[in-house]
Amino acid sequence: MSIKVITEKCIGCGLCVKSCPFNAIDMIDKKAVIKDNCTLCGSCVEVCPVDAIVMEKEEANNKINIEDYKGIWVFAEQRAGEILNVSVELIGEGRKIADKRNVELTAVLLGKDLDENAKTLVKYGADNVIAVDNEKLETYTTDAYSKVIADLIKERKPEIMLIGATTIGRDLGPRVSAKVHTGLTADCTRLEIDDEDGKLLQTRPAFGGNLMATIICPNHRPQMSTVRPGVMEKAKYNEDNTGNIEKVEVSFEDGQLKTEVLEVIKSEKEAVALDEAPIIVAGGRGLTDKKGFELLEKLAEKLDGAVGASRAAVDEGWIEHAHQVGQTGTTVRPKLYIAAGISGAIQHLAGMQSSDCIVAINKNPDAPIFKVADYGIVGDLYEVIPELLEALDNVDDIVTALKSVEG
């Protein structure tokens, strides 16, 4: 979209200046002039009595040739030098898509001192790594990261760009897509390639998770998705994998970046790394009380796992939102997920049903959670869990025992 004033028509009435909520219009020589901070909200177009302001839709179709766009890109998010799990998951998914499209998979890595991480991404299966090493990229900022990635996309034209739907990815994805004039499907849970036309089919929950919507991006490139952490399978590390690592230099002019990171302060609260935990013990409304979580914590501690929760338990104020599993919480994929007093609503299942082994404890034998459970215990959790704790007391080393079961 673009906006312009037809100067010959403008009668200098000034109504548009008053109507603009962003103070984006000046009167110069009795003619309206629109400034750079215009957000294209359209208010001024409505009020102009002589139709002197026009908004025009750019014919994007004429501007890009879809055939020019080749290759799959994955944003390899790192924090404090550690590549996130979701980036490894995206490499796994990107690899499958690249093989199906018969194109190369490229990981885009931004930060500082990237050599080791770049090599690791190759071992996980990236054909290429674009490593942009700059001290201004050490810690994420919206303006620096979105500029660098958008410039790379404009120059090199990938057909698909995948970003993890982390706090950073959810900020970065829309900024980049707006800069390169393409669409973005947020929070995808499935990605496929259409066998007929090679387009990316991007599936995500819609209408409160009650249906799954598959979205395509037919006329613009790249096709961009953010993808929920924990949903896709991780790429396998292989020491024999080889690939190209390209170091790209960038520089920023004075004043180009509006944000500067002065200091990174870690949250005082211990982070709940639910998406990384191999074992999760989760509780729901069936706990009936905040104290129920003390019991779950004992079990989690014994299993060396983390504590999760349904939204109902979070809404009751029994536990913080950081522990919530599900559509509006964290998506998890642990080796073992124990759901106690959780009914198994679709929005909860959306966040945990890919777990390797699900154990459900519920006093209602018809609870939907039993449909996804590998093991179901029908009973009162306040009887079952103490018995479980007692039984575990008799196992010398439960974690080693579980690991041996995993093989």
The interface partner of residue 25, options being ligand SF4, ligand FAD, none and the CB cut-off 5 to 8 Å by kind, is ligand SF4
Residue 293 DSSP SS3: helix
- Binding status of residue 103 toward ligand SF4 by CB under 6 A: no
Residue with smaller CB distance to ligand FAD, 200 or 319: 319
Annotate 312-379 with DSSP letters as a single string: HHHHTTSS-GGGBBSTTSB----SEEEEES----HHHHTTTTT-SEEEEEES-TT-THHHH-SEEEES
The interface partner of residue 125, options being ligand SF4, ligand FAD, none and the CB cut-off 5 to 8 Å by kind, is none
User: What gap in Å lies between CA 35 and CA 22, rounded to an integer?
Assistant: 10
Question: Least separation, in Å, of the C-beta of 328 and ligand FAD?
Answer: 4
Using CB under 6 A as the criterion, which residues of the chain lie in contact with ligand FAD when the complex forms? 208-209, 284-286, 310-313, 324-329, 341-343, 345, 347-348, 351, 361-364, 367, 380-382
- Binding status of residue 43 toward ligand SF4 by CB under 6 A: yes
- Binding status of residue 15 toward ligand SF4 by CB under 6 A: yes
Question: Least separation, in Å, of the C-beta of 79 and ligand FAD?
Answer: 23
- Binding status of residue 33 toward ligand SF4 by CB under 6 A: no
Question: Least separation, in Å, of the C-beta of 84 and ligand FAD?
Answer: 21
The interface partner of residue 190, options being ligand SF4, ligand FAD, none and the CB cut-off 5 to 8 Å by kind, is none
The interface partner of residue 64, options being ligand SF4, ligand FAD, none and the CB cut-off 5 to 8 Å by kind, is none
The interface partner of residue 381, options being ligand SF4, ligand FAD, none and the CB cut-off 5 to 8 Å by kind, is ligand FAD
Contact 354, 339 (CB under 8 A): no
Restricted to residues 210-229, the positions that interact with ligand SF4 (CB under 6 A) are none
Residue with smaller CB distance to ligand SF4, 32 or 231: 32
Region of 2-10, 178-186, 259-267, 314-322 interacting with ligand SF4 (CB under 6 A): 2-10
Question: Least separation, in Å, of the C-beta of 162 and ligand FAD?
Answer: 23
- Binding status of residue 357 toward ligand SF4 by CB under 6 A: no
Contact 106, 71 (CB under 8 A): yes
Contact 341, 286 (CB under 8 A): yes
Residue with smaller CB distance to ligand SF4, 43 or 203: 43
Residue 162 tokens read as 């995948």
Question: Least separation, in Å, of the C-beta of 384 and ligand FAD?
Answer: 7
Question: Least separation, in Å, of the C-beta of 164 and ligand FAD?
Answer: 18
What's at 154, amino acid-wise?
K
What's at 108, amino acid-wise?
V
User: What gap in Å lies between CA 200 and CA 100, rounded to an integer?
Assistant: 11
Residue 305 tokens read as 């796992």
Q: Which residues contact 186 (CB under 8 A, 6 or more apart)?
A: 165, 170, 173, 174, 204, 225, 226
Residue with smaller CB distance to ligand SF4, 22 or 375: 22
- Binding status of residue 48 toward ligand SF4 by CB under 6 A: yes
Tell me which H or E stretch contains 45.
helix 43-47
Closest CA to 110 of 89, 86, 79: 79
Contact 309, 282 (CB under 8 A): yes
Phi, psi at residue 62, to the nearest 5°? Answer: -75, -15
Rule CB under 6 A: which residues touch ligand SF4?
Answer: 3, 5, 10-16, 19-20, 22, 24-25, 32, 34, 38-44, 47-48, 50, 52-53
